[in-house]
Amino acid sequence: MKIQTSLSEQDGVSSREIWEKQVRKELKENTDKLDTWKIGTDLHFEPYATQEDCKDERIETVQLCQKQTPGWLNMPLIQGTDFESVKYSAENALKQGADAILLKMDWPDLLQMDESQHFLSNPENTIFFQTPEYPEVLIKEIYKSSALNWKGGIAFDPLANWMRTGTHFAGSVDSVATILNNAGSKKDFRPLMIESHVFHYSGATPVQELAFLIASTVTYLDYLTDAGVSAQKVFENLYFSVPAGTHYLTEIAKFRALRYLFFKIGRAYRVPDQQCRAFVHATTSSFYYAEKSTHNNIIRATSEAMSAVTGGCDALTTLPFDFCSGQLNEFPDRIARNVSNILAHESLLNQVADPASGSYLLENMTLSLADAAWELFLETEEKGGLERCFENGFIQDELDKSLNSSTAAFGTGKILVGVNKFEEQESDSSFRNEEKVFSRENRNGLQLLIAKNLSQLIRS
């Protein structure tokens, strides 16, 4: 199609007025489609952007702190009831396109087995250990021998665990400090994860998710630097784990904004710029998974995965479409793994380090998200920091407001496919039948955060 003259005037750059005139013409003056869209209760975005909206000099810094090398680790979740089944699943996944493994490990004595130790410490395997508590025994095993080249990390966030269970994080943070002070660091192993899942699954908007994630980071930095660990060493040994939601463009901007915010925190702690490049593990979000029409979740996961890799994640875990069933099925696991394979080998998104760079809309959204998150982060700091804000209920109240606003929208026309529209008549039996508990639990005087599922909230 020939480009219209009006869109190629002014030395090749069209003004906002020219674009809007053309859009109105194509929409036949149906201007309600040009309304801004809301990102929770925090932020509004225009439906499009032009070069005029991207004159902020900070955009250059945003681009500077994005991932510098293309590609990501295809990192499926592997879990099982015994080591042999886990080993079989992991080896099969690695043969079928996986680059790393997120191993859900519930057995504290796993490393007592010679065979498991040989497999887990194989330098050809990159393994992130997801554990129910901070695994001191595992950590000591990993760091005691300089001859073993462990690659991966620990997928446990003591601070997030405190917000879920009421078990205070100080002991685990002391363990991290001891490791970093005494054992140094391993180049390809990250013993500290900082996650935003705990906020995301409680209904957080992207702004809240980023703000509280950065507040968590600062909390760890304060504790660890007080324990004698340099800020630079903390930066070298941590990584982020972040779920990707279904709002495609917003989620791309969220991942890019995270890197920019981490960069800002690093400069505040006087960490060299080259050490302020975050390692980001992304997962697709089961918060949006439907309990009926579960195969629709394949499409949801694909959209979420594409947001994550376009936003520049370093590792990607695509959750199987039947994830909420709690069952272990090889077919859904294979489909989930191949979502990442297709994005890499057929869509070729692994050929570009920062695919979103230069998009007027996404650059503008990235800065807007970062600015709004930074403002909420500063408010949290002014109220005493994340720990104090959780103890006094500020964070819980903010998340409740967002969750209530989100669920209410589905009663006034917003659609979740297979849940409140286009749903199947018979429920998929693969989902758990027990009643979900979404109310606050209290322990040690704390209102705890309970993971939620949007599908079940809409139906309740």
Phi and psi of 441, rounded to 5°? -110, 150
Mean pLDDT within 67-89 = 90
For the segment 275-305, what is each residue's pLDDT rounded down to a tens digit? 999 999 999 999 999 887 899 999 999 999 9
| pLDDT confidence of residue 170 | 94
The pTM of this model reads: 0.91
| pLDDT confidence of residue 373 | 97
Is the pLDDT higher at 63 or at 107? 63
Assign domain 62-369 one CATH number from 3.20.20.240, 3.30.1450.10, 3.40.50.11540, 3.90.1150.10.
3.20.20.240
pLDDT band at 308 (very low <50, low <70, confident <90, very high): very high
| pLDDT confidence of residue 114 | 62
Token pair, residue 195, equals 């996650």
| Secondary structure element (H or E) that encloses residue 241, with its range | strand 238-244
Mean pLDDT within 54-82 = 92
For the segment 225-256, what is each residue's pLDDT rounded down to a tens digit? 999 999 999 999 999 999 999 999 999 999 99
148 has a pLDDT exceeding 50: yes
Alpha helices in 311-359 (DSSP H): 330-345
429 has a pLDDT exceeding 50: no
The CATH 3.20.20.240 domain(s) of the chain lie at 62-369
69 has a pLDDT exceeding 70: yes
| pLDDT confidence of residue 41 | 66
135 has a pLDDT exceeding 90: no
Cβ atoms of 180 and 220 closer than 8 Å: no
Cβ atoms of 151 and 188 closer than 8 Å: yes
For the chain, percent of residues with pLDDT exceeding 90: 61
